[in-house]
Structures are given as C-alpha cells and as structure tokens.
Amino acid sequence: MNLTKASAVPLLLATLMAGCTALQPPRADSPTLYLLNAQPAGVAARPQRELALSIGTPRARPGFATPQMAYVRRPPRLDYYAKNRWVDTPARMLSPLLLQALAQAGGFRAVVPEASAVGTDLRLDTELIRLQQDFVAQPSRVQLALRAQLIDLKADKVIATKEFDAEETAPSEDAYGGAVAANRALARVLDEVVDFCSAASLRR
C-alpha cells in the first residue's frame, strides 16, 4: 500500500462515521423533574388516642392523574409544560407526605398505609381535585384543592368530609416557580388535614 492509499483509509473511516452520526435521530432533552416534598408548616403534637389510622391511596380527578405539570392561561383550557414534569403523579407523592404529617402529630396510636396488615379503626381517603399554575392574573398563582374523607372502619360509615383549598403566589413565572408555590400550598393543606383528622376522630 502506498502513502496515498494509506492516508485515505482514516479519511474514509471518518467520513463513514460522520455519515452514521448524521443518520441517528436527535437525542431528546431530558425533562426537568420536580418533587412534592412539603413538610407541614407547624404541626403541634396532639394528645394520643387509642385509635389506629390508615392512609388510603390518594386519587386524582381527570387532568391531574399524570406527572405532567398543569397550567392555565385561557380557562377552561388546561395545558401542560412540555419540558417540565413531576417525578411521579402528585397523588402518589401525596401519600407518604400525609402519612408522615399525621404520624408526627402523634394524635393516633398508629398511622399506617392502607396496604399494611395492621388492623385500623379509621381510614383517611383523599382526592386531588386540582393542582395547577394559574397565569390568568399576574403574578401567577398555584391552586391546590384536596378533598378528604375520614371513615370509621368498624361502623362502616363516613365520619366527616371536607375540601381544602390553598393558593400560593409563584416566585417566578415558570415551572420552577410553580413547583415552589405548590409545595408551599401543600404544607398549609397538610396542617389542615391533620387538624381535620384530629377533630373528626373525636366524633367516633
């Protein structure tokens, strides 16, 4: 092989590799992920009662049973951020937060997931009604609505039902601002749910 042919081989290989790279589909950018990890703002310890509470699997209304982050610019149209998502559906992220808030408050002998084998006296069922960033007014606000129902498992009846609404102004007009405001709103709602369960359990 002469020098001309030898030097042409690397050039040919480089050209082929560049061609293969050009044929590959463009790599999609990974979405930015956000957590719901709010802690109750000020849960004071409650006197403990000899009741065990289970936390039912939270449900979500249509439009919010998704990891997509919802926002509103022209009601009633609901839109979602294209490159920003929750790590999981908000309803699934809500379950351990409810369990932690109620366990820390200490008003019950035990607080466990519904799937636990431990026998319980009461069950808390929740439904996420709304979690969206509203851009209709400026600055934007995050709106969070949650419906809670406390059930007496022994008597097979509903003790109390309540809907919780919270709004928080977003610190920035983007998904990050929406995630920060959502966690602030959720911290308030967790406090209120703890109060609700504590007061409603006295009716048993």
Query: For residue 49, what pLDDT is reported?
Result: 82
Query: Which pLDDT score is estimated for 19?
Result: 52
- Residue 35 inside a domain? The answer is no
Q: Which of 104, 129, 131 is nearest to 43 (CA)?
A: 104
SS3 81: strand
pLDDT at 59: 98
Is 150 within the bounds of a domain?
yes
**33 part of a folded domain:** no
Provide the pLDDT for residue 40.
81
In a domain, 31, yes or no: no
Q: What letter would DSSP give residue 75?
A: T
Residue 25 belongs to a domain: no
> What was the pLDDT predicted at 117?
62
* Cα first-last separation, the chain: 94
Three-state secondary structure readout of 115-134? CCCCCCCEEEEEEEEEEEEE
Contact assessment for residue 38 and residue 186, using Cβ atoms and an 8 Å cutoff: yes
Torsion angle of alpha carbons 43, 167, 131, 94, nearest 10°?
A: 0
The answer to the question of residue 94 being in a domain is yes
Residue 66 lies inside a defined structural domain of this protein: yes
Range of the domain at 188: 51-201
pLDDT < 70 positions in the chain: 1-28, 42-45, 117
In eight-state DSSP terms, residue 88 is S
Three-class SS state of 13: helix
Q: How many domains does the chain have?
A: 1
pLDDT at 8: 46
Domain assignment present for 145: yes
Closest to 184 (Cα-Cα) out of 165, 196, 162, 166: 166
- Helices 175-201 and 90-105: crossing angle in degrees, nearest 10, is 50
pTM: 0.83
DSSP state for residue 153 in the 8-state scheme: T
According to the model, what pLDDT value does residue 33 have? 98
pLDDT of residue 11: 45
Task: Give CA–CA dist 27/124, Å, rounded.
Answer: 44
- What is the per-residue pLDDT for 10? 43
Residue 81 to residue 24: CA distance in whole angstroms: 27
- Whole-angstrom distance, CA of residue 168 vs CA of residue 188: 10
> Between β-strands 122-134 and 108-113, what pairing exists: parallel, antiparallel or unpaired?
unpaired
* CATH number of the domain enclosing 127: 3.40.50.10610
Residue with tokens 């607080």: 111
**Looking at residue 31, what is its pLDDT?**
93
Q: Which two tokens stand for residue 90?
A: 């908000």
